[in-house]
Amino acid sequence: MSIRNTWGNLRSVERRLVIGVGVLLFIVANIIWVRPRFADWGTTKKRVETARETLRNFEKEISGADKIKKSIAQLEEKGGGVQQEDQANNFSRELQAQAAESRVNITGTSKQQWKTNEFFVELIQTISVQSREEQLVDFLYSLSSGDSMIRVRDLPLRPDPPRQQLSGNIKFVASYQKAQKKRETKPAAGTTQTAPKTETKPETPKK
């Protein structure tokens, strides 16, 4: 018996009951499986918008790469490049020279500390100073305005007992480019190296 014949044989009350049960099952299925997933559309839409915004930002940065390279080249020509490792020896000398020029009294100097990674060397040194406010500001400003790559990491200050000058310990940090080690050239395969010839002087006859 086909479904059409079965449906035709049902009375109106039975048909209404079947339709009611079907609607009820549809509502229950939506409540269990469909309704809890409504929030997923908003989450997915938000993720798509975030991904598109990130892509736009990346494309904008990539399009300006040539401009950034030109700016870096200009800064390096003006002395803004990171200094070589061998210039780190002038770290203390530069601090003392600028302190003398700004009339800042250095009362103590700590031992230098080194931190290094694959590309850079970071040199840290703490100095104790005593000076007036104007002189100290000139000292710090002059160090930061040059190409010394010296910056202040810690600056605790306090007035001295007469309250006429400031005193404290200033921690300075300078970054330097790590010198690249030269690679030793190995002889090509199949070649032999000969030791350099040494000249032998004839012995003078004994008298």
**pLDDT tens digits, residue range 45-87?**
888 899 999 998 888 888 888 888 887 777 666 544 555 556 6
Q: CA neighbours within 13 Å on the CB side: how many for 180?
A: 3
pLDDT tens for residues 97-106? 889 999 999 9
Q: What is the dihedral of CA 141, 142, 144, 146, to 10 degrees?
A: 150
Domain extents for the chain? 1-63, 83-177
Strand, helix or coil for residue 178: coil
Task: Quickly name the fold that domain 83-177 has.
Answer: Alpha-Beta Plaits (3.30.70)
pTM beyond 0.75, yes or no: no
What Cα–Cα distance (Å) separates residue 200 from each residue in 144, 193, 197, 203? 60, 21, 9, 9
Q: Which helix (H) or strand (E) holds 7?
A: helix 3-9
Where do runs of H (alpha helix) occur along 83-198?
91-102, 133-145
